Amino acid sequence: MMMSCGRNPDKSRVYLDKGIDYLYTSEIDEAIGFFNKAIKYDENNYEAYYYRGCAYSNNFNNEQAFHDWNKAIELKPDYADPYFNIGLIYRRQNDYSMACYYFKLAEKYGRQNMEDYVKFCDYYE
């Protein structure tokens, strides 16, 4: 019997997609489990880190969410969505200067409809 060892991006994608399905139905623990498997099969799967961060954020685990979103950014620096979500966390914490910093990065990397998020940023810089 042959075993699959090492990196397997196709298998990682299957687990990622299943995790996203669970995330959208608010089955957070199940989603995290599938994202963990996606990362196991491809440690460079930036989307798995991003979505796992979203799952952690939904469980109010901001520290782990920050960690995963920063890992997604490390793997793909022009990935706009993690910047946006980090900005949302800072805004909820009333740290508007940091929120604006991340919102502007999200806008720079192509996140759509950022006008309402950045329109007051000049005030906080």
Whole-angstrom distance, CA of residue 16 vs CA of residue 18 = 5
The two tokens of residue 7 are 């990196």
Residue with tokens 């805004």: 91
Q: Residue 90 is encoded by which pair of tokens?
A: 């800072």
Quickly count: other Cβ atoms within 10 Å of residue 10's Cβ.
Answer: 9
Whole-model pTM over 0.75: yes
Reading the chain (125 residues) residue by residue, the pLDDT tens digits are 344 567 899 999 999 999 999 999 999 999 999 999 999 999 999 999 999 999 999 999 999 999 999 999 999 999 999 999 999 999 999 999 999 999 999 999 999 999 999 988 877 66
For residues 118 and 54, give the distance between their C-alpha atoms in angstroms, rounded to a whole number.
22
